[in-house]
Amino acid sequence: MIYRYFPNQLKTAALAIAIGAALTGCIGATDHSEQIANQRLELARVAYAQAKADPQVEAYSLRTLLSAEKSLQEAEQVHEEVYAAKSTGSYGNIDSSKKKVLLNDLSRLAYISERKSQTSVALAEGVVARDEIVKLGRERAEVQLLKSQMEQQLLQQDLAAKVADLELARQQLTTATNETERARIIADIQAQEAALAKAEAYAEAREADGARALAVEQARAAVQAKTEAQAQTREAEKAKAELALLLTEMSELQGQLTDRGIVLTIGDVLFATGKSDLNASAQRSMGKLADFLEKKPNRNLLVEGHTDNVGDILYNQGLSEQRAEAVKFAMVNRGIAPERIVTIGYGKNYPLANNNDAIGKQQNRRVEAIILNEGVLPASQFRD
């Protein structure tokens, strides 16, 4: 037992047992390690549900969330194994060492799942916080600039007033005849000149401050540019994660990331020979693809039909168009708006492999469903 090495965790475990038992009303019906494992599983379920409900997690740390889900599923399987025996009355017959192993495994898997769920949330929150820092940096630079501009205006206002006073004093000096009065005005002029020089020096210093602030702002802009580049990398990671998610659900299809988006290849074997009917296996994938498109309303679908070089041009053109249409039909049947999907048949014009052997021909007979990047219109992505 790991708790032998963690006296403090024993306290936590004891608390967990009390809460778990109170929640389930199972005091006395289950033993100590079983209660700990159950409590741990419950915590993992809660952590996963919280992570799953957070849209930022799906956007920025999907891969970690999927990993948490996998561990949770494994934990649930072990849990079922333990309780299947209990429900059939053979629980007492489980060898105590086997039961211990199962409960330890349940506890371990649940812990891993909980931590991964927490990690997925932390990763997503980190992305959001860093994006916020970029925005706040911009806002701070703006308000500092505003303050600086206002201060400059006030300084200029003050300087203009001092210059006007000085000019007035000089005019008074030209008209003054009394020696005492002239001496007073001269002293006044000298004092005003000193004040003006001081104010001008201060204004120059503030201008230098402004230049430094500008340099800081330029450095901040450089950091922002770097952050934005990182954000683009994250978007690329997100696209990869989306592809991974799609492909785990659509094992019949091949997929790859391209500049245009995610390209899913529906191979010839998923159509009836020489026809455009999708077989049962392909229909399952179409369901998954429709689910994906429903969740991503800003992404459109371009469906391209391709054939090998066997048969005449008209036949190949017709078949490629019909097969692309079959995919669109399958999507529309599942509730995807038809205006989001554009089909095109290219016949034998764009082979993937050479048409010299059966393998190459089979590779060329395909439909490519391109899940376009957000906001991209399908018609803008036709081949030349």
Partner 1 sequence: MKKNKVSRYLLIGLATLGLGLAGGCATKDTVSSRFPALQDNISAAKAAEAEVYAPASLKAAEAKLEAARLAVQAKDMVTANTLVDKAMVDADYARAEAPTVKAKNEAKVMRQAIQKVRAEIALLPAVN
Site residues for partner 1 per CB under 8 A: 1-2, 4-6, 101, 104, 108, 111-112, 115-116, 118-119, 122-123, 125-126, 129-130, 132-133, 136-137, 139-140, 143-144, 146-147, 150-151, 153-154, 157
Q: Which two tokens stand for residue 45?
A: 């379920």
Structural tokens at position 173: 């000096």
- Neighbour-count burial of 40, counting CB atoms closer than 10 A to its CB (0-12 exposed, 13-18 middle, 19+ buried): buried
For the record, the structure tokens of 318 come out as: 């017709």
Minimum distance, C-beta of residue 192 to partner 1, in the bound complex (Å): 20
Shortest distance (Å) from residue 346 CB to partner 1:
45
In angstroms, the CA 38 to CA 44 distance is 10
- Shortest Å distance, C-beta 75 to partner 1: 12
Which residue, 111 or 346, is less far from partner 1 as judged by CB? 111
Nearer to partner 1, 227 or 349 (CB): 227
Nearer to partner 1 (CB atom), residue 137 or residue 318: 137
Q: Which is nearer to partner 1, 137 or 267 (CB)?
A: 137
Residues 223 and 187: their CA atoms lie apart, in Å, by: 54
Please give the Cα distance from 382 to 384 (Å, whole number). Answer: 7
Tell me how far, at minimum, the Cβ of 288 lies from partner 1, in Å: 29
The nearest distance, CB 318 to partner 1, in angstroms, is 53
Find the distance separating the first CA and the last CA of the chain, reported in whole Å.
66
For 324, the 3-state DSSP assignment is: helix
Between 44 and 367, CB nearer to partner 1: 44
Specify the residue, 101 or 214, whose C-beta has the smaller distance to partner 1.
101
| 353 touches 364 (CB < 8 A) | yes
Considering the complex, what minimum distance in angstroms separates the CB of residue 150 from partner 1?
Answer: 5
User: Given its phi and psi angles, is residue 341 left (phi above 0), alpha (psi -120 to 50 degrees) or beta?
Assistant: beta
